[in-house]
Chain A
Amino acid sequence: MHTTTTDDTPAAVRIRGLRKVYGGAVAVDGIDLDIARGETFALLGPNGAGKSTTIEILEGYRLRTSGEVSVLGVDPAHGGLDWKGRLGIVLQSAAESGLYTVREQLAHFAKLYPSPRDVDEVIAAVGLESKAGTRIGRLSGGQRRRVDVALGIIGRPELLFLDEPTTGFDPEARREFWSLIRTLKDEGTTILLTTHYLDEAAQLGDRAGVILGGRLVDVGTVEELGGAEARVPIVRWRDPDGGPREVRTARPAELVASLVARLGGEPAGLEVIRPSLEDIYLQLVRAAGVDALDIEEAAA
């Protein structure tokens, strides 16, 4: 695999006590995190939680207030051109005038990197073969986003940053994108992804972390996120007096059987719910006291 470690640093990303303060406002408030080489890590969190600030510090775009950061063994505040050549960066938004065709733009960016991928292969990988000769300014929003992704991987990065990569994609395009990411992952690329889509994190992430108010409130495999407690099924029903009831239990069938026995028939409004990743995430967000509007935005 071409992404074989070129130094002895075990982690692709190592963060200790990272803080970022703008004026008086704390955007990132003490984050510790390791991302292993070859790992795909999904960073979740509502808007304004500190996701983009964190990722832009790792990319070298912003300077940290304090803490230690190492990206591919280099402090991003002093990352040189050779270091940048090992990264792929897909920013959250780009709105260039789009005067170049897809192929021209990729061919030009390929020249900036020491061992780029083949331009036509990358165009095919993001599904833009039919638009290769079209100026980027004439593409739809989703197609332009694919160009952003293509520009992020053209340099054959060891570490790929994807900041909300699939915003504006239709469901079909998102599934195609996921398969591209899996291909990159199979080649050994380390990927740090931020997303609002929890299914995306579940599909792609080896591990995920939730950032709230500048703190990493939970990190783990997607199956572990929120802890075992958060995954306990919920049984809901209405008592004969009309009162709604809700019980969390690891043995919902037993509870339902005892309900049927006790009520002498079918309980009204019966539901057995296994919390989805989204439910768990929203519980975490609520527990952290983020206001409801942000939660809706984040879950949208």
Chain B
Amino acid sequence: MSATTGTGAGVGTRAPMSAASGPGARRGVLAVGASRIGYEVKGYFRSPDAVFFTFLFPLIMLGIFTAAFSASGDISAGPGTESISVGAYYLPGMLAAGMLLSGVQNLAVDIATEKGDGTLKRLGGTPLSPVSYFLGKIGHVFVTGVLQAALLLLVAATVFGIALPTEPQAWGTFAWVFVLGVGTSALLGIALSSVPRSGKSATAVVIPIVLVLQFISGVYIQFSQLPEWMQNIASVFPLKWMAQGMRAAFLPDDFKVMEQNQEWDLGWVAVALLAWLVIGLVVSRLTFRWNRRDA
């Protein structure tokens, strides 16, 4: 503790602040938010659990599906239409699952854990704006979501030999469904983080919800093979629409006859995702607290 020794390198050797100028200005909400993104991404990739269960999981599932069903032949929407491999069929679902895991599962568990271990309480005692905090979380989900999708597409094309679309229109569809879906997922993750009572119970609360959604929304099971009542339940939740939007981008147009209305219904995809985005935003705004003030 040589705080006052050396070349005047005391703890407080900065230029004195004049009384007239008052405290210095805080950095902008956006600038701090941007620095939070880098900080969050760094922490994420240092958490092996989070990386495995939210980042790599869709890739692993795609590998398993491709290997398990490689002998069962291609899938087509009907006689005389274009057929594709099982891997190609499941790729859009895995992209949608990745968006859900990176957003909902990752943030809900992450923020509930931060609430439980005192991270949020500490941040609440600093001049960090909650807006910057959320920008950091959402930005982090976008960064990891983009990396995850890029990795999935790269491995799908090179390792599993899945042909990716060449028309710009398909990539345009992919881009907006991805951005909207990831944004919605991130906000729903923040909203859901208020549900677990402790950091320890966070995974127990969040994972079953996410898992059930993946089973009923056409990620692990071909959506067209699910009973109609289950399809209707799934339609209430956002994952079904993310998966449908991704199928619209990646599957041949013939496959639209396997959707609920025999159409891609991209307009409804946008409406459903926007509605959930607003719900996520409102619930996050209403429930988020740095600490339980009167616990």
Contact = CB atoms under 8 A, between A and B. Distances in A.
Contacts of A112: 26-27, 32, 126-128
Contact of A63 (B4, B114, B294): B294
Contact of B122 (A91, A155, A183, A187): A91
Given A94-B118, A99-B47, A61 B125 contact: yes
- The binding surface of chain A is classed by DSSP as loop
Contacts of A111: 27, 32, 35
Contacts of B113: 97
Given A108-B35, A125-B11, A81 B26 contact: yes
- The binding surface of chain B is classed by DSSP as loop
Closest 9 CB pairs of A and B: A114-B24, A85-B127, A89-B125, A187-B12, A115-B24, A125-B3, A176-B1, A94-B118, A81-B127
B294 A2 contact: no
Contacts of B1: 124-127, 176-177, 179-180
B125 A183 contact: no
Contacts of A115: 14, 17, 23-24
Given A1-B16, A151-B122, A82 B127 contact: yes
A112 B42 CA distance: 18
Contacts of B127: 81-82, 84-85, 112-114, 155
Q: Which of A84, A93, A179 has the most CB of B within 10 A?
A: A84
B117 interface: yes
B22 interface: yes
B136 to A, nearest CB: 10
Nearest to B38: A108
A95 B114 CA distance: 10
A214 to B, nearest CB: 16
B125 A156 contact: no
Interface string A162-187: 00000000000000110110011011
Nearest to B129: A81
Given A97-B113, A121-B3, A109 B126 contact: yes
Given A95-B118, A97-B117, A108-B35, A117 B23 contact: no
Interface string B31-46: 0100100010011001
Interface string B283-295: 0000000010110
B10 interface: yes
A140 B35 CA distance: 28
Contacts of B2: 124
Given A2-B17, A4-B17, A115-B23, A96 B117 contact: yes
A279 interface: no
A84 B43 contact: no
Interface of B: 1-4, 9-14, 16-19, 22-27, 32, 35, 39, 42-43, 46-47, 113-114, 117-119, 121-122, 124-129, 291, 293-294
B10 A183 contact: yes
19 contacts: A4-B16, A22-B294, A84-B127, A96-B114, A97-B113, A104-B42, A112-B128, A114-B27, A117-B11, A118-B14, A121-B3, A121-B13, A153-B11, A155-B127, A176-B1, A177-B1, A180-B11, A183-B12, A187-B10
Contact of B126 (A61, A113, A179): A113
A36 B143 CA distance: 48
A197 interface: no
A179 B5 CA distance: 12
B167 to A, nearest CB: 42
A10 B293 CA distance: 28
Contacts of A61: 121, 124-125, 291, 293
A6 interface: yes
Contacts of A6: 19, 22-23
A2 B129 CA distance: 24
Nearest to B125: A89
A59 B125 contact: yes
A121 B23 contact: no
B53 to A, nearest CB: 16
Contacts of A4: 16-19
Given A115-B23, A156-B12, 20 more contacts: A2-B14, A6-B22, A62-B293, A81-B26, A85-B23, A89-B126, A95-B117, A97-B47, A97-B119, A111-B32, A112-B26, A113-B126, A117-B12, A117-B14, A125-B11, A155-B126, A155-B127, A179-B3, A180-B3, A187-B12
A179 B10 CA distance: 12
A170 B11 CA distance: 23
A122 interface: yes
A252 B140 CA distance: 72
A168 to B, nearest CB: 16
B118 A93 contact: yes
B271 to A, nearest CB: 37
Contacts of B47: 97, 99
Contacts of A186: 4
A87 to B, nearest CB: 7
A93 to B, nearest CB: 7
Nearest to A177: B1
A2 B12 contact: yes
A248 interface: no
A95 B39 CA distance: 18
Contacts of B42: 99-100, 104
A125 B12 CA distance: 11
Given A87-B125, A95-B118, A63 B9 contact: no
